[in-house]
Amino acid sequence: MEFEGKVLEILPPVSGQSARGTWERQTVVFEQANKQFGKEVAVTFMNKGQDVSGLRVGESYTVSFDIESRNYQGRWYTDVRAWRVQSLQPQMQSQPPVQDLPPFLEEPMASAGAGVVDDIPF
C-alpha cells in the first residue's frame, strides 16, 4: 500500500539489542495529502536510518508501507512500517556549467569571383 503525505515531524531514533542483533527504529509523522481533514499517520522505519536522514520536514513524499499487528501479553499493537519513500519534489537536473566560448569570428569576405570556391551541394 502507499500514500502521499507531507512530513510533519521526525522523531529521534530508538535502538536496542535483541536475540537477532542490534535494531534501530525511527518514527516519522506524515500528514496525508488529498484528505478533506488532514489525517496524520505515524510511520515506523526499522533499520532504515539512511532513508530517514534524507527526509525533510515540510516536504512531500510517496510512502510505501505494510501494516503489521502483533499480540504481546494479551494486548494488540499495530505498526505502519515503511519499506520505501520517494520524494514528490521534482529532482534538480544537474547540468554542466556553461563554458565561456570565444566570440564567433566571421570569415573575411573574398573579392567577388577571385578564387571563391562554392562548396554548397547543388
DSSP assignments along 22-68, one per residue: EEEEEEEEEEESS-SSPPEEEEEEES-HHHHHT--TT-EEEEEEEEE
Number of compact structural domains in the chain: 1
Has residue 6 been placed in a domain? yes
pLDDT (tens digit per residue) in 93-109: 555 555 565 665 666 55
Has residue 64 been placed in a domain? yes
Has residue 39 been placed in a domain? yes
Has residue 37 been placed in a domain? yes
The mean of the pLDDT values for the chain is 83
Question: Domain range holding 72?
Answer: 2-87
Has residue 107 been placed in a domain? no
Entry pTM? 0.68
Has residue 74 been placed in a domain? yes
In the chain, pLDDT over 90 holds for what percent of residues? 55
Q: Give the CATH number of the domain where residue 50 resides.
A: 2.40.50.140
Has residue 81 been placed in a domain? yes
- Checking if the pLDDT of 78 tops 80, the result is yes
